[in-house]
């Protein structure tokens, strides 16, 4: 009699509760939107927002319990819960910031919140992947939704160019990652990450095949994170996509990609850490150098933030290269803080833009402190946190990953990180200097915050959170470390 897989019971689906609620809500919203009047698009947005906040709360609070289900393909643990909470919060922020922006440009369709919900579902599956097939399903669900969102404004050449470049390079990276996963499967004979880890401890004659698979997997992860030299898509996608979509692509997926990297490298290829830590450390150093040097030359704020993302990914990878509970905890802490800060940075651009004027040039912010001192102060908070200026939370995040590199016997990488942090501070402080010390050219268009009280309040809370979080640093950092201490 042929062997058959055991049937899933209702109890085994409990750890999947947040994902099941999100998937059911996304399909329901897709159907409901067909019956909504075009003037009621706001209802779709608010329903999606409620769903994301509810699912994020369910995940963060552990509703459904922990466990390994779906025949070992899906794992629900503390790391997954923390990551899913952060992912849902960042996705919800995208909906809040993006509605008015997209609506006034005629780009807000019912598909936007639905695509964001499905992309969030893909990220949540990535965070709970315990099998190579689940990794790929989550990754492609996220990627396909992201491609559509980036090319949302089909009549704008810059957006369609960004979408095409993202699709082509993303397909190349997905193929590279899939090839690496297939090599790992060929070397180990299993798709389950815990089983791969057991074989990787003693691969025998398949050692070289396993190392080749590891190299391709690291390259695929580097692309998804945006690490140098696999960062080519970042500047064009960040500049070409509508600003709220850039916010979405730049924030939540970074948390999901980090958890994917941890699952694959530590969860599956942990015995080969002596090899992959060298690769990750090299990518971290290259990202820090390339990202900072390229960002120095940018006059466009979105392109500057794109290249600075490469630098921030270098800091995140520095924590991973350090290894251990301290290193992984520092990297997760950095990913969460970076997601919050990125939402604020692009939120500032959304708030200062208007139809026909994107407020994405650094020169657009000249003299902002004289016109709107409160808004200039909030943007200062965001830029200072990105630069790593104390007492903002960005400083403590950078400090912790540098400490992790030192504890991981990577003094050279820590030195590169310190020098890069100093260099990187220049282009963030340049934005502050333009706001406070430069005067706008006579007759030139200038950035002025839109009269949207809700959006102003959300941005103020977002920006001030970067200062307030430094006061609650220990609980948040302890939580990030705790999930790796088991």
pLDDT at 448: 82
pLDDT at 476: 84
Q: Is the pLDDT of residue 37 over 70?
A: yes
Q: Is the pLDDT of residue 5 over 90?
A: no
Spatial CB neighbours of 478, under 8 Å, sequence gap ≥ 6? none
Q: Is the pLDDT of residue 1 over 60?
A: no
Least confident of 244-253, 331-340, 355-364: 355-364
Is residue 2 assigned to a domain?
A: no
Report residue 320: phi and psi, to 5°: -65, -40
Is residue 65 assigned to a domain?
A: yes
Is residue 345 assigned to a domain?
A: yes
Q: Is the pLDDT of residue 486 over 70?
A: no
Q: Is the pLDDT of residue 377 over 70?
A: yes
Distance CA 160, CA 266 (A): 37
Spatial CB neighbours of 166, under 8 Å, sequence gap ≥ 6? 146, 147, 150, 151, 233, 236, 237
pLDDT at 3: 57
Q: Is the pLDDT of residue 215 over 80?
A: yes
pTM for this prediction: 0.95
Is the Cβ–Cβ distance between 347 and 243 less than 8 Å? no
Closest CA to 414 of 425, 392, 398: 398
Task: Say how many domains are in the chain.
Answer: 1
381-390 pLDDT tens trace: 999 999 999 9
| Band of pLDDT at residue 4, cut at 50, 70 and 90 | low
Is residue 428 assigned to a domain?
A: yes
Is residue 36 assigned to a domain?
A: yes
Residue ranges making up the domain that contains 63: 11-482
Least confident of 146-155, 300-309, 394-403: 146-155
Least confident of 21-35, 189-203, 445-459: 445-459
Is residue 5 assigned to a domain?
A: no
Distance CA 483, CA 327 (A): 12
122-144 pLDDT tens trace: 999 999 999 999 999 999 999 99
pLDDT above 90 covers what percent of the chain?
73
Is residue 77 assigned to a domain?
A: yes
Is residue 3 assigned to a domain?
A: no
pLDDT at 89: 96
pLDDT at 405: 95
């Amino acid at each position: 009699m042929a062997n058959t897989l055991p049937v899933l019971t209702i109890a085994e689906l409990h750890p999947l509760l947040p994902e099941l609620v999100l998937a059911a809500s996304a399909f329901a919203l897709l159907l409901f939107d067909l019956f909504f009047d075009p003037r009621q698009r706001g209802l779709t947005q608010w329903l999606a927002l409620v769903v994301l906040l509810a699912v994020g709360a369910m995940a963060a609070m552990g509703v459904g319990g922990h466990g390994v289900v779906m025949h070992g393909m899906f794992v629900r643990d503390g790391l997954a819960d923390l990551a899913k909470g952060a992912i849902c919060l960042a996705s919800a922020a995208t909906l809040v910031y993006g509605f008015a922006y997209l609506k006034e440009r005629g780009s807000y369709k019912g598909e936007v919140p639905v695509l964001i919900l499905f992309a969030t579902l893909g990220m949540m599956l990535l965070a709970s992947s315990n099998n190579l097939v689940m990794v790929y399903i989550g990754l492609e669900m996220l990627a396909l939704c992201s491609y559509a969102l980036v090319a949302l404004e089909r009549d704008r050449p810059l957006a369609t160019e960004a979408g095409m470049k993202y699709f082509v390079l993303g397909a190349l990276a997905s193929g590279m990652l899939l090839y690496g996963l297939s090599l790992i499967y060929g070397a180990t004979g299993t798709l389950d990450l815990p089983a791969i880890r057991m074989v990787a401890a003693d691969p025998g004659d398949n050692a070289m095949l396993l190392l080749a698979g590891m190299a391709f997997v690291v390259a695929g992860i580097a692309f998804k994170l945006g690490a140098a030299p696999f960062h080519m898509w970042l500047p064009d996608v960040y500049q070409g996509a509508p600003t709220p979509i850039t916010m979405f692509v730049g924030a939540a997926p970074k948390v999901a990609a980090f958890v994917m990297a941890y699952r694959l490298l530590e969860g599956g290829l942990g015995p080969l850490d002596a090899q992959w830590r060298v690769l990750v450390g090299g990518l971290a150093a290259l990202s820090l150098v390339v990202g900072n040097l390229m960002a120095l030359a940018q006059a466009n704020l979105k392109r500057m933030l794109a290249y600075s993302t490469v630098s921030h990914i270098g800091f995140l990878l520095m924590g991973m290269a350090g290894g251990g509970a301290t290193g992984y905890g520092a990297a997760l802490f950095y990913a969460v803080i970076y997601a919050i800060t990125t939402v604020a940075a692009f939120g500032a651009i959304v708030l200062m833009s208007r139809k026909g004027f994107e407020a994405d040039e650094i020169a657009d912010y000249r003299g902002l402190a004289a016109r709107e001192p409160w808004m200039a102060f909030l943007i200062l908070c965001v830029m200072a946190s990105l630069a790593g200026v104390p007492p903002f939370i960005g400083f403590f995040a950078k400090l912790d990953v540098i400490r992790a590199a030192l504890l991981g016997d990577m003094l050279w990488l820590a030195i590169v990180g310190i020098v890069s942090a100093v260099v990187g501070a220049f282009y963030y402080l340049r934005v502050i200097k333009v706001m406070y010390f430069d005067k706008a050219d006579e007759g030139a268009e200038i950035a002025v915050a839109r009269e949207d009280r809700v959006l102003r309040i959300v941005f103020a809370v977002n920006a001030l959170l970067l200062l307030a979080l430094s006061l609650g640093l220990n609980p948040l950092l302890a939580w990030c470390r705790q999930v790796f201490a088991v």
